[in-house]
Structures are given as structure tokens and as C-alpha cells.
Amino acid sequence: MAESLYQRDVYGQALVELGKQNKDIVVLDADLSGSTRTSIFAKEFPERFFNFGVAEQNMMAASAGLASCRKTVFVSTFAIFASGRAWDQVRNTICYSNFDVKIVATHAGLTVGPDGASHQALEDVALMRAIPNMNIIVPCDGPQTREAVIAAAGHKGPFYIRLGRPKVPTIENKGEFKLGKAQVLTPGNDVAIIACGIMVSQGLAAVKSLSEKGIKARLINLHSIRPMDCETVLKAAKETKGIVVCEEHTIVGGLASSIDEVVAENYPTAVKRVGVNKRFGQSGEPDELLREYNLTGPDIEKAALSIVRK
């Protein structure tokens, strides 16, 4: 049984690691430091941590002021507030000036669970992806969260890193993490499954089940939504019968739309989207919600079969 980790725990620990190496790392939170785990950094480096209270817009614009004074600023709150509540501050004051601000947003997607629709960010990647200069990473598990945070710290400019609330199983043998380079997790030329975040582990379940039916699926962990690894996507488009895109996000504007854009312009092929289909979320346990919104291994398998058996 693979280990399961909270991405947020790994994030908090990675911040401490960075804080020790670099005195210019500053961390901001908006009254959710216990949940986002920036509290781990706050305990270690109280003079470089600022809690802005329940005021996300102020926090985002303040991060730009700090960055203008050569600080590398990590800013955390829940994804729904980081992307929606403070969008104008992120666009006009962080991204337009191309500041070194890393927004690490936790509690993204349906798996927030019982808190329900108001707290389930399903549009955040779409909102962030529309802004020039913004880099976007959706890590698939705990170890990849650390890699993403370290990579963002070492790469100038704004980032949006999307993390979830529950523990996620660690995906074995992913290979090296490189910003903008997708990871091919399983070989296969019948169909491609491109996933990010928690949907990678659902994708693995689908691959296993498909292989029992004699279908070889190529599973791609596309952790960097921007910059996007177009080469790996187009290779999959050319070498398989079609692509299933899986994300814990609305099918409008996120990973699925990114793939649609790449293949439509370069190598049109069949694309099926496994994501939230223009609905708000609701209360429930994470597993129940993934089933209710058709975001499970069997749903991915069904979509893959519809491509293979066309």
C-alpha cells in the first residue's frame, strides 16, 4: 500500500526548508495558516511571516509590494479566495508587474468535502490561466508538492500552485520533476489519459482496469498547466486513438481546455473530458463527491473505451 500524504503538510515543511536557505523568502496567509500549514513556517520564522486576517485582496496586493523590494513571497489561502476573491489584485498588481509571488492555494476542488459549493474552487485554474505571466502547477501528490514549491522558488515570476485538502496517495516512479515537462507514467498507444492533481491516481486505476481488457493506455501526469508541455501532448495525439483529459475542475477553461487548444491547432483528435460539467459542488465526503460528479477511475475508463471502440 502506497503512502498517503497531505500536500499541505509537505508544503509547510518545504517552506521551512526554503526559509533556511534563503532569507528573502516571506510568507503571507489570510487567517488560514493552520489549514494551509504556513503555520509551520510561521513558527520557525516569525519575523518573515505575516497574517493578514480575513483580507485576501489586501494580502495579494501587499505581496506585490514585498516582491518589489526583492522578496520571494509565498501567499496562501484557500483556492476559492486566492483565485476568485483577489483576482484583480493577482492580475493587475502581481502578474502585470511580473513579480516573484508564489500563490499556493489549498483546499481546491470538490474534495474540500462537507464545506460544500462555496468553498469548492472548480474555476481557479481557468481564472489563473487567462492571466499573462502566470505559471500554474497542479502537483499530483505529496512528494510532487515539494518539487513544485522548490521549482517555483527557483524560477522568477508569479506562480499558482494548486493543492487539495485530503491526503493523497503517493504515485511511485514518476521520474524527475521539471517545470513545463509532463511525466509519462505508463506506456501505451491505444488511448492517452492526461491528468493532473488527484485525478492522476484515478487515472492509474483506469489504466489497470483497461489493461485487464487488453487495452494499453498511456497515462500522462501533466502537472504544469503553464508552461504546457505541448510536445508530449501532441506526441500522444499522434500515437494514440484519442485523449481523455481528467481534472478535478470545471471542464471549462482548465486542463481540458488547454489540451483542446493544443490539439485543435496542431493535430485534431478525439478528446473526452472527465471533469465537473458546468455544475457547482455540494457537501459530501470526498469519495462520494468524486462518484457523484463522475470523476473516478471507472468514469475515465468509460471515456477511454468510447474512444478505443469508436
Partner 1 sequence: MIKEYPQAQIKGLEEQAKKIRRLIVQMLVRAGSGHPGGSLSATDLITVLYFEVLRHNPKEPAWQERDRFHLSKGHCCPLLYAILAERGYFPLEELWTLRKLGSVLQGHPDRRTPGIEVASGSLGQGLSVSVGMSLAAKIDKKDFRVYTLLGDGETQEGNIWEAAMAASHFKCDNLCAILDYNGFQIDGKICDIMELEPLAAKWQAFGWHTIEIDGHDVKQILAAYDQAKAIKGKPSIIIARTVKGKGVSFMENVCDFHGRAPTKEESEKALKELDG
Task: Show the DSSP H helices in 155-310 as ranges.
Answer: 199-212, 230-239, 255-266, 286-292, 297-308
Q: How far apart are CA 151 and CA 295, in angstroms?
A: 29
Q: Which entry of 3, 56, 248, 301 is annotated as an active-site residue?
A: 56
Sign of CA dihedral 22, 148, 26, 102: positive
Question: How is residue 80 written as a grid cell?
Answer: 476559492
Per DSSP, the three-state class of 304 is helix
10 contact partners, CB below 8 Å, separation of at least 6: 142, 143, 145, 146, 149
160 contact partners, CB below 8 Å, separation of at least 6: 82, 83, 103, 105, 124, 125, 128, 134, 135, 136, 137
- Total residue count of the chain as it appears in this document: 310
- The DSSP call for residue 108 is B
Residue with Cβ nearer partner 1 (91 or 218): 91
Nearest approach in angstroms of CB 87 to partner 1 is 11
Question: How is residue 216 written as a grid cell?
Answer: 494499453
> Which residues form the interface with partner 1 (CB under 8 A)?
26, 47-48, 50, 52-53, 55, 57-71, 88-89, 92-93, 96-99
Nearest approach in angstroms of CB 53 to partner 1 is 7
The residue written with cell numbers 487567517 in the block is 31
Residue with Cβ nearer partner 1 (71 or 129): 71
Residue with Cβ nearer partner 1 (56 or 301): 56
Nearest approach in angstroms of CB 248 to partner 1 is 30
Q: How far apart are CA 195 and CA 259, in angstroms?
A: 11
Residue with Cβ nearer partner 1 (133 or 211): 133
Residue with Cβ nearer partner 1 (101 or 220): 101
Nearest approach in angstroms of CB 38 to partner 1 is 15
Nearest approach in angstroms of CB 54 to partner 1 is 9
**Is 56 annotated as catalytic?**
yes
Active site members: 56
